[in-house]
Structure 1
Amino acid sequence: MKRHQAREAAFQILFQMDMNDVEPKEALAAFAENQQIDTFTSRLVEGVYEHKQEVDEKIIEKLENWSFQRVAAVEKAILRIAVFEILYIDEIPKKVSINEAVELGKKYGDDHSGRFINGVLSKIDE
């Protein structure tokens, strides 16, 4: 599985976790019933879950004129993955994490999601 596909799977799993309030092991197992999960997907899902407070705080710091509660669930899941990558996975360049997040936003979000995600992530310090 390519990393782009792994990120997309992680997004889908994290989105379901938020919607259904389930733990990573349960969400990963449910997803694995229909689709293969690779180690990068698991690393993203478990890492975002483990560092959710720090990741969310970093996102909240960079929001301008917008509350975290108003951020759509799709955008939250995408932002969490990218911020986790930027903060905790050194071998992935920041611009790659941002580009991947913007593409996911364009695919799963609304017309403004890509621009919103790019604006938030471009302010994140490594």
Structure 2
Amino acid sequence: MSDSPAPKKQKKASHTEMRRAARSFALQALYQWQMSGNAINDIELQFRMDNDMSGTDLPLFSELLHGVPSNASDLDKSFEPFLDRSLDDLDPIERAVLRIGSFELIHRIVVPYKVVINESVELAKIFGATESHKYVNGILDKLAARVRMTEINAKRGK
């Protein structure tokens, strides 16, 4: 009989953790797309081959990875009025985070706006520059006030 402890069971990822992983992988893949211009399908294939995505919401990853580039121009226009600099001067990570957050605010209305903003802020904290999460929070908060007005007013009891 062995004295070694029994191996720990792998904890199954929660739905929240799986969605957070999907957003994280999508951010990295979108950053790669922004920097390289490679085809989204090629980037997606590479990510699926190179990463353990077993704890990832793969449909969300795919939706973000394909939805953001196909709507990039409209997404940029949605948050551009709230920027304090030109779109070209945005840090590539900030741009990718803002695009993901904007996509979710506009196209994934089943996700509460506060969740979208919080998840985007978390991405900026992990991958962005030191204070970029504050910038992302401010921009997406202003965008949410424009595109999720009904939801925000309902929460305030108006």
With the shorter chain as reference, the TM-score category is over 0.9
Q: Paired residue for 1:107?
A: 126
Q: Paired residue for 2:26?
A: 10
Relative contact order, higher structure (CA 8 A, sep 6+): 1
Shift of 1:70: 1.0
Question: Secondary structure of 2:27's match?
Answer: helix
Q: Distance in 1 between matches of 2:80 and 2:89?
A: 11
Q: Paired residue for 1:58?
A: 78
Question: How many aligned positions are there?
Answer: 125
Q: Which residue of 23, 40, 55 maps to 2:60?
A: 40
What percentage of aligned pairs have identical amino acids? 31
Shift of 1:22: 1.2
Question: Secondary structure of 1:33's match?
Answer: helix
Q: Distance in 1 between matches of 2:103 and 2:136?
A: 14
**What does the per-residue CA deviation read over 1:59-117, in whole Å, with 9 as the maximum and x for residues that have no partner?**
21221x31111110010011100000000011101111100010110111111111000
TM-score after normalising by structure 1:
0.94
Aligned-residue CA RMSD in angstroms? 1.2
**What does the per-residue CA deviation read over 1:11-41, in whole Å, with 9 as the maximum and x for residues that have no partner?**
0100000111112111101111112361110
Q: Distance in 2 between matches of 1:16 and 1:3?
A: 20
Structure 1 stretches lacking a partner, 5+ long: none
2:50 is aligned with 1:30: no
Farther-moved stretch of structure 1 (87-96 vs 34-43): 34-43
Q: Distance in 2 between matches of 1:96 and 1:113?
A: 18
Q: Which residue of 98, 120, 135 maps to 1:79?
A: 98
Q: Distance in 2 between matches of 1:107 and 1:60?
A: 23
Structure 2 stretches lacking a partner, 5+ long: 1-12, 148-158
> Which stretches of structure 1, 4 residues or longer, exceed 4 Å deviation after superposition?
none
